[in-house]
Amino acid sequence: MVGTPTASAVFDFESILPQLDFLPIAARRALDHAGLRLSLEAWRSLSLDDRCILVAAGADDVVDAPAVTAVVRRATPPAQRIEVVGDPDPLAPPDALLRLPTDPSPLDARQWARLRALDRYALAHVHRRSIARNDPTLIQAAYEDIVTGHLRSLRPPADDRDRGSSMPPPVVPPPPPLPRTDATHRSPARHSARPRPRRSLPPVPRGAARRLSLPASIRPSMRAPLRPSPRSRLRSHPRLPAGPDPLLLLDPPVLPAPRFPRPQLLARALPRHTNAPYFQSPGLASPRPSSSPRTSPPPAGRMVDVGPKPVTERRAVAAASVRMARETFRRLSHRDTPKGDVLAVARVAGIQAAKRTSELIPLCHIVALTSVEVHMELDASACAVHITAVAQAADRTGVEMEAMVAASVAALTIYDMLKGIDREMTIDDVKLLEKSGGRTGHYQRREA
């Protein structure tokens, strides 16, 4: 059984527990730090305990490369040596991840820094895989499992939040009364018998509230003349008794109204690289509030940089089938067709299409093909032509698309040459059967 440390290092979106039949991302990280590459056959030759050791090593923040190398020596066939691949920058996430349209909020540098080293490696690895396969659901599932799950773990439990919302607000005691300093103190009974008239202070000057909340950073820059202080009027008031100055309780002191510069002058004083939303340019005549925040459109696509990858032998096998009516199949078998030898023309068309894959698929690299083969098999029981295309190259990227384009174009050519006889033909089962070479090693389709 897979232990708890290993289970915590394998993500839910990988769906490879408990037997670890395929390489988890944690094991790939451990192999990259050790400068090794294992094929799927070599991975399955290891025992379950050895696989768990590699997964646990990849989950550590610092990978023990010698321990990984000692475990990989027991694999058959032996591992390949590659350049050591490190982790992404923990402080600066890749720009492509920052531009992902993810919910509930996009990834930022703060969230990126709080993730584990394995989590950052997994996001970068799955993002490259989603671009290579043109499948955005891969990175969306990884983001939901890693980033969104991490944010949920940081939130307090729901019962704690409810308990905190139901607690009554703290009781603030009232301030103590000011001490009386006048000599004529009256008893409570006499005071209640003849109530004393309420004294009122002079009215506060207009705009005093704004002056009291004025920041201290702009006070030295004011050049307005000071008005007569209310303190002098209070002291000269004939009806007020001697006692503490009520304006001493005001903090900060009363200041004159500030004179803010006009928007035109403030706009000219701002630096040109400012991001203030209320000014578009130094020549703006009046302030205008910004509209809804602008979001950059998602990128239309990009070609993956394969320069750092080593040159290895690449091979891919793809298949396709053309199904037709029985009479059409009989005429094809006897070479009784209006356009001549259908199979020979389709074979040449598939080879030519494989060499021009980069012109048909926008983001495919130009691959130096060393061999392209297109085989055709007639199936009388199903009235179909089964096409198999094999592409080989020595390059930094795979040839899966070359093989699939060859099989597809060969099938389309058969349809084109026989459409005058049968327009109800169908092209089915265009798929990749096998591929080898490259970082991911050997792959073979498992038929249901």
Structure tokens at 215: 């920041």
355 contacts 349 by C-beta, under 8 angstroms: no
One-letter amino acid identity for 102? Answer: T
**Which is catalytic among the residues 64, 416, 422, 429?**
416
Question: pTM for this one?
Answer: 0.38
Residues in the chain, overall count = 448
In this prediction, residue 177 carries a pLDDT of 60
In this prediction, residue 144 carries a pLDDT of 80
- The terminus-to-terminus CA distance of the chain in angstroms comes to 27
pLDDT along the chain (448 residues), means of 10: 58 76 86 89 88 88 90 89 87 77 68 84 84 81 76 52 50 56 47 53 51 47 49 50 50 53 51 45 46 56 85 95 95 90 95 94 92 95 95 93 96 95 94 91 83
What is the Cα–Cα distance from 354 to 356, expressed in whole angstroms?
A: 5
In this prediction, residue 48 carries a pLDDT of 87
Q: Where are the alpha helices (DSSP H) in 134-274?
A: 137-143, 149-154, 158-166, 188-193, 208-212, 230-235, 263-269
What is the Cα–Cα distance from 72 to 65, expressed in whole angstroms?
A: 11
Task: Clarify whether 416 is annotated catalytic.
Answer: yes
In this prediction, residue 222 carries a pLDDT of 45
Ramachandran angles phi, psi of 10, nearest 5°: -105, 125
421 contacts 330 by C-beta, under 8 angstroms: no
411 contacts 427 by C-beta, under 8 angstroms: yes
Q: 254: burial class by Cβ within 10 Å (0-12, 13-18, 19+)? A: middle
Query: What residues are paired with 375 via a beta bridge?
Result: 388
What is the Cα–Cα distance from 431 to 444, expressed in whole angstroms?
A: 11
In this prediction, residue 390 carries a pLDDT of 97
What is the Cα–Cα distance from 329 to 321, expressed in whole angstroms?
A: 13
